[in-house]
Structure 1
Amino acid sequence: MSPINLAIVGVGKIVRDQHLPAVAKNGDYRLIAAASRHGTVDGIDNFTSIDAMLATVPAIEAVSLCMPPQYRYEAAEKALSAGKHVFLEKPPGATLSEVADLESLAAARGLTLFASWHSRYAPAVEAAKAFLAGTTIRSMRVIWKEDVRHWHPNQEWIWQAGGLGVFDPGINALSIVTHILPRPVFLTAATLEFPENRDAPIAATMTFTDARGLDLAAEFDWRQTGKQSWDIVAETDAGEMVLSEGGAKLSIDGKLVHEEPEQEYPMLYKHFAELVKAGKSDVDLAPLRHVADAFMLGRRKFVEAFYD
């Protein structure tokens, strides 16, 4: 098959750091256009709106949407209605209902919709899933703590309603947990800490269980300085499993058993091309559903104001 004519919408830091390099190295794509209010991509047609891009470049076959989640539904609906396959950066939308509507629209038009979860493609995630499948899990702890000033400097959208706050990185942890556990889990309690001047939380603690009474707890915090923590620790009958550095390394009882170079976004685009060629979609909403449950069930605690 000839390369897929791809367009990218929302040219910001994640696009420059991850999407563009991944697409450039994948022969399944030909990047032909971009739309963004401020950013541009050298060597292709650039527009300030998706409407102008779709109207001017009919050769586009697929669109990768990388704007903040609050604005993604409208762009995705326009792309699907124009007959384009759609790649959704995580989280796939601001609400579960809007993503469900996009899934229905894609199915009705015979198009691919891909809700991407890049952390599931971290190097040691599949090895962790295989390990857990072969043993009994006694408990699991998720520690996802980082410095928001380093990773999201001056990004006001992330503090607005729908921007998810600390769940923007926390949902990466939930995407791994929902992938590696052998059974579905559900939220039992949560506390969300909101800065008094923000509409999204800066920290959260959550507890989960499953049909067999699994003891699972998660801590998300955006106030961590120094070394960042992206770890999942499971106590099992086969020993202590530590999936560390965001899924990059797997250790069992202190012994490193799996480590490879990071290839998250190249793997995402490889999978998207496979879906397009096969005429299929991949829209797993489990991570976003857990975040929605936390907002619905969680207790709110107000903390000191946060300023960049």
Structure 2
Amino acid sequence: AARSYTLANLVKGKPFDLYPDQRSQVYVGLSGERPETSAAVRATAGQVVLYGGRVASTLYFSSSGGKTASSADVFGVAVPYLVSKPDPWDRLSPYHRWGPIVVGARTIQSKLDVPARVLDASGVPTPSGRLRAVTLETTAGATSVPAALLRTALELRSTWVSIGVLRLDHPPDPAVYGSPLELSGLARGLQTPTLSSSKDGVSWRTVGPLQRSPGGAFSAAVRPTATTRYRIQVIGAASPGLLVSVSSRVRLAQPALDPTSLSGMVRPKLSGAAVSIERLKGTAWTPVASTAVDGAGSFRARVKLVPGSYRARVAATNGLAEGISPPLTVTE
């Protein structure tokens, strides 16, 4: 096979016959010769593989993954003797199966020089199972990348890959203590994905399995009680952790029998947490009073009330982000 390939693919116009790399089947020259290979060359002297009366281009490889690729799949040109065939003996190769390889969206964007953030990836296999191209869905639209470029950029062993996607999207609404939060994303091409959570980013616990649409989209309701990281997990891989900041739940009211103060409540009961009462002046919120949360989770502040909009701001504490009440309108 090596002799036939060499004779069919001699380099033209150069002071040498073969390249010392993948361009010539990784021929490494004299440094790669061994007594055993030299003996095989001598034992088969003068023998070549012919097809149609010409020396055949007998491409060879160290591992096929279990099935060879046709010339039409690889080069776009059909050659009668270079067709896809099962290769069950490849099971003996240490590279028969490899992966999984986890690659982040930012890495793909950087390695492939994609100008916009990558949201999704998919590819259609050729009859031999390899990918010809990969479609990347980005914030700027779809773009197609040749599978050979993907292989080189990400240092993959071949283009015979299956693409799985794990994506957890930032929730559109802020997370508030005691309120449900909808998490959504994509979990496609991978088996039994689960949603996991962590308070510290080190120890993770399973929240539960994901119910997915046929296309892999999912949504899951969570009710975090403090700032929490979430991720999607499968065997051997996980999505990046998504940090969800949870704010305290704050309410502000005007006591009916006390026109000189504002009161409210905070959940959870953040005893001792600082509270700032603010009034809207033009387009900016300006502090007009301060107080603290008591042991029951309540607060009261003396305020020189004038008609306008007021709100309460509770400082971040105990793993909770800063909490802000809905605006309260004072008319008199």
- TM-score band, normalised by the shorter chain? under 0.3
Structure with the bigger percentage of helix: 1
Q: Which has the higher contact order (CA 8 A, sep 6+)?
A: 1
- Rg bigger for which structure? 2
Structure with the bigger percentage of strand: 2
